[in-house]
Amino acid sequence: MIGVATLLLLRHGRTTANADGGLAGRQPVELDDTGRAQATAVGERLRAVPLAAVVTSPLIRCRQTLELALPQATPVVEDGLIECDYGSWEGQPLKKLAKEPLWPVVQQHPSAAVFPQGEAMAAMAARAVAAVRAWDARVSAEYGSEAVWLACSHGDVIKAIVADALGVHLDAFQRIVADPASVTAIRFTPLRPFLVRLNDTGGDLAALVPAPRKRRRRTARATDSDAAVGGGAGASR
């Protein structure tokens, strides 16, 4: 498989809205004590990972997460990673929103959901996927195939990016889970994206750093592996 960069998608730590059962949307909610502890803990796991670039949603909960997790980093704000604009739904309790006629659409057919005075779920997915693919191409071109980079964003945004990587319809994205402070890893190859890890909240992240590629000797033609046909993203490394 042709070497490519590795994207780590980091969801922000738990917020006061998460704890209270509200829909934060683009409101400036901040991390609570649990969220700050989660951000610090994921930072310990990321310490062994050399990051070529760090980008973030502009919302404060993502920036706070990175300040705690990666205090030495200088994140670049990427507007394409901002949370979905939930319009008039923002700030309301999820229990109340669950009674709205739009709620079943959001849960079962999110590709058709357009939030009142807000954004279409499909539009959120399109701009988020475009943002990470553009950044991935840039990182790969500048730093090479062993590069690892990180993007800090939000639950629905990450789920939409994962659905695209898996090649499934956006209507299936509610089956995907991205917990606070979880890490998801994707490699975008010329053939197809590979979902390397999903919703990881405790695994060894250093294992995601690709090993340096070895040059093949010209005197013997290497036998093609089956990795590109059915193997995992790291099968040929």
What are the tens digits of pLDDT across the range 6-22?
999 999 999 999 999 99
Asked if 170 and 159 touch (Cβ cutoff 8 Å), the reply is no
Q: What is the pLDDT of residues 206-237, one digit of tens each?
A: 989 987 766 555 444 443 333 334 444 444 33
Structure tokens at 199: 């919703």
Residues constituting the chain:
237
Residues of the chain above pLDDT 90, percent: 84
Structure tokens at 185: 């890893």
Computed over every residue of the chain, the mean pLDDT equals 91
Single-letter residue type at 84: C
pLDDT reported for residue 145:
85
- Look at 40-44, 141-145, 149-153, 220-224 and tell me which has the smallest mean pLDDT: 220-224
Give the C-alpha separation, 129 to 100, whole Å.
28
pLDDT at residue 150 tops 80: yes
